[in-house]
Amino acid sequence: MTPPPRPTLADVTRGRILYGGDYNPEQWPESVWQQDMALMREAGVNLATVGVFSWARLEPRPGERDFGWLDRALDLLHGSGIGVCLATPTASPPPWMGARHPETLPRDETGAVVWYGSRNHFCASSPVYRDHALGITADLVDRYGDHPALRLWHVNNEYGTACWCDATAAHFRRWLRDRYKSLDALNEAWGTAFWSQRYGDWDEIIPPRRAQYMVNPTQELDFRRFTSDALLECFTAERDALAERTPHIPVTTNFMPLFVGQDGWTWAEREDVVSVDLYPDPAHPEGDDGAAWGALVQDLTRSQARGPWLLMEQAAGPVNWRGVNHPRPEGLTRLWSLQAVARGADGICFFQWRQSRQGSEKFHSGMVSHAGPRGRTFRQVRELGADLGRLGALTGSPVTARAAVLHDWNSWWATLPAGRPSDLLTYERPLRAWHRALWESHLTCDFAHPENELDGYALVAVPHLYLLTDAALDNLASYVRGGGTLVCGFFTGVADTDDRVREGGVDARLREVLGIGTVHEWWPLGEGEAQPLAPFGNVLGADAAGEDAAGPTGTLWREDFETLPGTETVAAYRGGELDGRPAITRHSFGEGTAWYLSTLPDPAALRALLSRAAGEAGLRPPLPGLPTGVEAVRRGARLFLLNHRREPATVPLPAPATDELTGRRHERTVTLGRHGAAVLREDPSA
């Protein structure tokens, strides 16, 4: 019998944008709670996340339960018309657990105990921790599964703890047995003939603890895979306990943005609702970098969700963990919130509702700051709530993207061990540069796993995927052969799933697609070094002059390689050891086209090249003639215009349109104020 479908985010939104944040009533006397309800109603809050860090309050001693305060809090919220995202408190075990059961505490690579006194102090492999976590989860769902305020379950918080203890070692060995079946297969995969590392018994295998020199890179890769899976087991166990009792209530856990510790593709498949925490830095000039980073995280989260998603946490003002914690300029919280909605968010939430007066995050902002309801922060929170209240018709609507950026956590993990050609080449650096170039070109893109179906995309970008499986390589070849446009970055397709370097340095299938013959050497650049490029024709565009008049440059990486007959050299290296050698190429393969970038062009050149490739693939921005710093995104039938500049900007319109935030009709242009935004409903009859 086919099980009924799981609930979705639509079961929570119910035709409105969710708005709210983490509410921690246990930190405040109950005399404050009534004021909280009144202020939430005033701000338009319709969802409160409750109980994330309340385990010690709910279970003050082993086996005891104190639910009275939570009963009263949930009843108050329901009476005020506010739904509840109820959290399992398992991210922060109470002190009694660490004191009575030190085996539940994680250990670091040296074997040192990571003590309680903060949060996330648990070993995911500890049976004792898991039993207690399931115990409090089961009691929560039994007590509140039928509460009328309950809208969404929130499991744990920002999973990411790693552990190297003996319980983890035993769990790791079980995981390896399941993966490899035999020691011979493990030894082959790990290449243990190197440095006399061959294992003769499963019990000899340990996590990659601190060693005399570099540890086995495939052992390290597998440990990262295992850690993601071990944490996922914890999430899945709690999720299943909740789903069994409340099959009508969706379950989520909040991701950290572009976080290395979890395979986000695998995790998202286990969630009913995909959510993320996002804290861009407002100190970057003009907010540009914060907006670009936000767009990347939003695109990735939407792609993991395969549709609408939830912004679980952001800041209403300054955070407290940077060296200098800057407040947000006027209008920036609204702008970045609307950017998230434009890119598929059906909910905008903050950490937290009321700024704490004690504890480690007392200088982390809240929707109600230390200034109280008369403060600037709450005024902006109230105004944002009114804006979101006008956009309920957008819930569930898609963000259509015809470009995809390929991303894979396994490939990221494989780049992390020491002993690589360049420590400067981090996985994120080209990924962020390429996505930013597409964002600045107003080309909305999805993220995709390299083994995913790609035929629906006109352009597929691969900034840097060092490790590619056989299935992924065959998928890329099939995509281009069938007529797709592939733009591939350097040091890609170098290793197989066991971090074994492919014969020839780059897989032969990928070399054939790209029109590459022999790869002689990888030739990385040092910090601050730039390699001049000599473009042929105008392929890099008129704005590819680089950072100065000398012309476009490459940074970070170079390669000495030969091209196959029929491969066009788009740009060559100019000067130095690689003078005249190809740097950027284009090759026809089957019915499609494959570009290859063996360096990281300067931002202007990269933007021009990706725009050129996209244009040849038939992609166009949603609105021509946009001023610099103005972002345009289509979601469903609405066009979002977002001004990331500190000064006003006037945008020409192809047809009259009405701004749903103000109700004002614009005939030929719309002027956006400083950090201003418009959500346009275009008039099709004009």
Question: Would you please indicate which residues are annotated as catalytic (active-site) residues?
Answer: 158, 313
Give the up-direction half-sphere exposure of residue 551: CA atoms within 13 A in the CB hemisphere: 13
Contact (CB, 8 A) for 589 and 567: no
Q: N- to C-terminal Cα distance for the chain?
A: 52
Contact 141, 242 (CB under 8 A): yes
Query: What CA–CA distances, in Å, run from 144 to 70, 130, 205, 286, 418?
Result: 10, 21, 44, 46, 49
Extract the tokens encoding 70: 């939570």
Work out whether strand 677-682 and strand 638-643 pair parallel, antiparallel, or are unpaired: antiparallel
**How crowded is the C-beta side of 386, counted as CA atoms within 13 Å?**
9
In angstroms, the CA 571 to CA 534 distance is: 5
254 within 8 A of 276, measured Cβ to Cβ: yes
CA of 588: how far to CAs of 269, 485, 596, 611, in Å?
36, 9, 12, 18
Which runs of E-coded beta strand occur in 100-173? Answer: 150-154
Q: What share of the chain is helix, strand, coil (3-state, %, to 5)?
A: 35, 20, 45
Q: Render 364-393 in DSSP notation, one character per residue.
A: S--SB-TT-TTSHHHHHHHHHHHHHHT-GG
Tokens representing 605 are: 């050149």
Angle (nearest 5°) at CA 148 between 338 and 313: 30
